[in-house]
Amino acid sequence: MRRRYKFLSVFVLCWLLQQGLTQGQQVLFEFGEKKDFNDLISGTVAPEPLKWIDVNTSDTSWYRDGEKLVCKGLPIGVVRSEKMYQNFIMHVEWRHLEKGGNSGIFVWCDDEPEEYSRLPSGVEVQMLELDWVNQNKRDGAMPPIAYVHGELFGAGKAKTIPDNPRGERSKSIENRCLGVGEWNKYTVVCVDGTIKLSVNGKFVNGIRESSQRKGYLCLESEGAKIEFKNLHIIELEKGYILPEHIVEAK
């Protein structure tokens, strides 16, 4: 009799652990698609849908509107991709629906939000609405206009070397982003710690020697309503990488 109870106890414990793990990794929504570069060349494999897991937003922060993904902007936080990526090309279109809106996509990101910001460590590909500089003057001085045209920088523990320095951040060398209600196109090439960003059809920014080179993608909710569409990931061949360049898997 004791052996039976012992077996049942172990069974129940395993079931509870499994439920906890499953709930912790529950997919919140699907958005975008991933293709392998070699499969893309051969045309042999269908795209794989990208699945997103909530980190610290909520199930009401995001919703699908046809082919678009809409983020309400609150609470501040991120959702992350189900899988980690190392070398890849990303295409995404986005538009702010509020003047001065703030958002972005993190690449090579971990799953540990910083207490002071609710955002994790990774390389942020900034998405700001053009009026942000007008709304965030300090001592009467306006931030550099390049700030809103696709900055790249290491957030949290992630460190990078900027191509076009604005302190530790890298600013775009040309102002190409469009304002509220207009769609912007980003192409982001991520290879072995180097990132190059194209804004609306032209490469204008980059960073190199990122301290994190394999991790999750994160979509950011940061206080303003924003829409995304046409998110595509083309996964490239693996490159040379050290264990310290890889974030902890969840």
Distance CA(142)–CA(73), nearest Å, equals 24
Q: Which of 171, 181, 174 is nearest to 226 (CA)?
A: 181
Task: Kindly give the residue spans of alpha helices, DSSP state H, lying in 164-219.
Answer: none
Distance CA(6)–CA(23), nearest Å, equals 26
Six-digit token string for 42: 């051969």
The tens digit of pLDDT for each residue in 102-117 reads 999 999 999 999 888 8
Domain residue spans of the chain: 28-245
Q: Which of 54, 91, 106 is nearest to 217 (CA)?
A: 106
DSSP string, 132-156: HHHHT-BTTBPPPGGGGTT-EEEET
Q: pLDDT truncated to tens, each residue of the chain (250 aa)?
A: 445 444 444 444 444 334 434 345 799 999 999 999 999 898 887 899 999 999 999 999 999 999 999 999 999 999 999 999 999 999 999 999 999 999 999 999 999 998 888 999 999 999 999 999 999 888 888 888 888 999 999 999 999 999 999 999 999 999 999 999 999 999 999 999 999 999 999 999 999 999 999 999 999 999 999 999 999 999 999 999 999 999 999 8
Instruction: Return the CATH number of the domain spanning residue range 28-245.
Output: 2.60.120.560
